[in-house]
Structure 1
């Protein structure tokens, strides 16, 4: 199998074999006896758990490295956000711009956390592209990322963390429920409870969209206003709008 692919791509077998081994290490392909490599199967439960790991790692990491982001980093994030807005009808271009947007911060992560985050992102990538083909999804990704960039630029660690938490939970719900509307969540509910986040679910751990989301942890901002087709923040007391 490797020999055939190498001939088709006009390259030697050694770099192709190394590339396939890297993909296998990332969980993107699996080796089949006497059949070569196959694209690794994934399920809604896999996508849920990949997003849960990102949820546990990335928001607190952002809080820890936000002061390390330079003006050049912020300028690149602004350019990538503009590229997302310009490419909202070209899904591949939009997805790549979205990836670049978050990689600007990823470069500042400690090495092990950066490698873990990138590996998880690659596992989610093909599911994300399908989800982004929905008309509302690029707009929602862009609007939340715009708020995230504002919080990062203001060096507001708690707000940036909360917006990234919202973003990851929103994306997880969108990808999982588009594949299986009756999916019963498990890992995501454990993680949100541990993070002091209240996510609205049915008694049997299903989610009806848009689900409510509220932060219960000490110091969380209660005045945050965000909503997508997957998530909504309940109005705070005294809000009559």
Structure 2
């Protein structure tokens, strides 16, 4: 699929070109991801569905995106392959220069059985695939909704310079929850530096706020509601 020149799965599908590339082992997943992305304002550069890999392999498509200047971020849906080592090397090369977001089909025994029926793919061991993605510096998600949302973030944002993040919250409890999620997903939530604290301290209330990381601004946010 090439939205910029009007080449699509069906002639009636809404087209929105952009900087997101996508390769999928399922035509249905490709169409669903594209439709959901377009409705969310995510534009696509190229989309490929490689199915049972008779004519083209996922590593060939990954290598193509390495050289494609119109693509800034790449999404991947894959069920299985016979060429794990080649995919690992191709993903490593791609992820060095562009963000890659992947969703793996066939993570459970039942899902693996469905994948074999769908594309004849050997879904493989979940831990092995997790190791492949981790070694390749590929971002993994579990749902198509998270796939579209993550592609949107990378599409609109500059490439991240590290895994460390700063967080601003208006609730102590939610800041705890999201800190845990960040750590579980491999991100870092370092303490706020003394220099940054010194700059922020004059700008916020002394009571009910916290300048660590996360920065809790609940007292400032709810000031109008709590001040009589």
Which one has the bigger strand percentage? 2
TM-score tier after normalising by the smaller chain length: under 0.3
TM-score, with structure 2 as normaliser: 0.24
Name the structure, 1 or 2, with higher relative contact order (CA <8 Å, separation 6+): 1
TM-score, with structure 1 as normaliser: 0.24
